[in-house]
């Protein structure tokens, strides 16, 4: 039996879905991470049909430019026609996700909200029964009052930890958008939408890694090279 990297299988599935939907013009938004990198590799010719790419991070912008694609300034465009991104955890019951493993959650969330169609691509290992049981939820936090924001989060009962240990950088991980990445341990999340709201109401939190109501489609890739497409009713 043929074996595949599940991220490549999901990328092929997304490409076939987007072609089926007849989407190959306008502006495409791209998230960040190894699955998006696989998508750029698999879909390079297809991506070239778009007017250009708006990237959610410098990493993706450089990869897209390296693939010969035209990279557009995110400050200028009011939205994208389609947005493709990965995720760290996905709950297939609702399409809710945890994102931000690559620290790019702020740009990712803004673009997913301002996109006409969102397709998330994941390997099967990212599918979970309940979000939050395996890994913390990333937050992009205003740096100036960082310690006060962390204290408020702790007073709400969360264990909050500044992300650090990025190769070549001492101290906290600072996002491309100037925020400090704070990982909060939530434990299993019974109501992702409520927790997303609660976290984003904390002054100083610019975005939480909980993404609810934003998926139109989730494409899950498997190591036998197959994929499955899941459709959701988008709310945001």
Which residues of the shown chain bind ligand 5RP in the complex (CB under 6 A)? 31-35, 85-88, 99-105, 108
108 annotated active-site: yes
Cβ-based nearer residue to ligand 5RP, 102 or 204: 102
Least Å distance, CB 49 to ligand 5RP, is 23
CB 11 within 8 A of CB 120: no
**Of 151 and 169, which has the nearer Cβ to ligand 5RP?**
169
Following DSSP, what letter does each residue of 154-215 receive, concatenated?
HHTT-EEEE-B--TT--SB-B-TTSPEEEEEE--S-S-HHHHHHHHHTSTTEEEESEE-S--
Angle between helical axes of 6-20 and 34-47 (0-180°, round to 10): 40
CB of residue 76 to ligand 5RP, shortest distance in Å: 22
Which residue lies nearer to ligand 5RP by CB, 31 or 172? 31
Q: How far is the CB of 147 from ligand 5RP (least distance, A)?
A: 24
**CA–CA separation, 159 vs 79, rounded Å?**
35
Pick the catalytic residue: 42, 108, 196, 198? 108
Query: Which residues have a catalytic role annotated?
Result: 108
């Amino acid at each position: 039996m043929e074996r595949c990297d599940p991220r490549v299988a999901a990328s092929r599935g997304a490409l076939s879905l987007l072609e089926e939907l007849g989407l190959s013009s306008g502006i495409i938004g791209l998230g960040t991470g190894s699955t998006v990198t696989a998508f750029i590799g698999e879909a390079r010719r297809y991506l070239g049909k778009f007017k250009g790419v708006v990237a959610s991070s410098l990493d993706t912008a450089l990869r897209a430019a390296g693939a010969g694609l035209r990279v557009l300034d995110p400050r200028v465009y009011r939205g994208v026609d389609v947005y493709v991104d990965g995720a760290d955890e996905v709950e297939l019951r609702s399409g809710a996700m945890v994102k931000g493993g690559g620290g790019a959650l702020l740009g990712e969330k803004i673009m997913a909200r301002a996109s006409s169609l969102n397709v998330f691509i994941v390997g099967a290992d990212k599918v979970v029964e309940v979000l939050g049981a395996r890994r913390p939820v990333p937050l992009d936090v205003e740096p100036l009052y960082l310690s006060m924001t962390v204290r408020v989060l702790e007073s709400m009962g969360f264990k909050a930890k500044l992300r650090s240990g990025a190769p070549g950088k001492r101290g906290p991980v600072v996002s491309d958008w100037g925020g400090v990445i704070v990982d909060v341990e939530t434990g299993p999340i019974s109501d992702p939408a409520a927790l997303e709201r609660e976290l984003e109401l904390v002054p100083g939190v610019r975005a939480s890694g909980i993404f609810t109501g934003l998926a139109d489609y989730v494409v899950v890739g498997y190591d036998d090279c197959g994929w499955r497409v899941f459709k959701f009713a988008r709310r945001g």
